[in-house]
Amino acid sequence: MQQMLDDLDRRLVRLLQMDARESTSSLARKLKVARSTVHERIERLKRDRVISGFSVVLANDPNEPGSRAIVFVEIEPRAQNSIVEELESYPEITTCYAVNGAFDLALIVEAPQLEDIDAILDEVAAIRGVIRTVTNVVLARKFDRRQKQGSSEPVSAN
């Protein structure tokens, strides 16, 4: 049966939420109670399922963009050189391919947030000679056969 949390339990849980790896000795000093009290409280909170586990929260990989999109661009005939030259000025556009079919260019756009990609799309659509764009947001990378720089390992999937 789950007991009501008292003030000490709430303060202990709050400290554990900030750093679940903090030692019981350190927690005891902060809470001004005996180390054995902290240990017993943690065990009771686990037993009562107030605490269901401890986990690691991974930071975002700084080498991976937050959002990625593939943008297909239809352009006016003979405008490709000037458009590509302008697209090169956008650091978020990491790759530009000439393609066949209904579109002339395919862009890989990478940015921290979708809002950033949206702003870039507005700017690309306003470039002189761009007729229309169609955007596909990348949901997940299933595999990537390209090699990491300086490594024989393939680029891992997200």
Same domain as 81, residue 23: no
Looking at residue 113, its pLDDT comes to 87
88 vs 111: CA distance, rounded Å? 15
Torsion of CA 87, 129, 119, 108, to 10 degrees: -40
- Residue 52 falls within a domain, yes or no? no
Looking at residue 63, its pLDDT comes to 63
34 vs 24: CA distance, rounded Å? 9
- Residue 61 falls within a domain, yes or no? no
Looking at residue 2, its pLDDT comes to 57
Written as one string, the DSSP assignment of 96-116 is: EEE--SS-SEEEEEEESSHHH
Same domain as 81, residue 43: no
Q: How distant, in Å, are the alpha carbons of 3, 72, 91, 105 from that of 127?
A: 64, 14, 16, 14
Q: Tell me the whole-structure pTM to 2 decimals.
A: 0.56
- The mean of the pLDDT values for the chain is 86
105 vs 122: CA distance, rounded Å? 16
pLDDT digits (tens, 9 = 90+) for 41-59: 999 999 988 888 887 665 5
- Residue 2 falls within a domain, yes or no? no
65 vs 59: CA distance, rounded Å? 13
Domain hosting 42: range is 7-47
From the number of C-beta atoms within 10 Å of its C-beta (0-12, 13-18, 19+), residue 5 rates as: middle
Angle, CA 146 vertex, CA 97 and CA 103 arms, to 5°: 20
Q: Which residues of the chain have pLDDT under 50?
A: 150-151, 158
Looking at residue 64, its pLDDT comes to 65
CATH of the domain at 40: 1.10.10
Same domain as 82, residue 27: no
Closest CA to 71 of 15, 150, 130, 6: 130
pLDDT digits (tens, 9 = 90+) for 85-95: 999 999 889 99
Angle formed by the axes of helices 7-18 and 35-47, nearest 10°: 90
Instruction: Look at the chain and report how many structural domains it folds into.
Output: 2
- Residue 85 falls within a domain, yes or no? yes
In this structure, how many other beta carbons lie within 10 angstroms of the beta carbon of residue 42? Answer: 19
Same domain as 90, residue 29: no
- Residue 154 falls within a domain, yes or no? no
CATH of the domain at 94: 3.30.70.920
- Residue 148 falls within a domain, yes or no? no
Looking at residue 74, its pLDDT comes to 98
Looking at residue 50, its pLDDT comes to 87
- Residue 94 falls within a domain, yes or no? yes
- Residue 95 falls within a domain, yes or no? yes
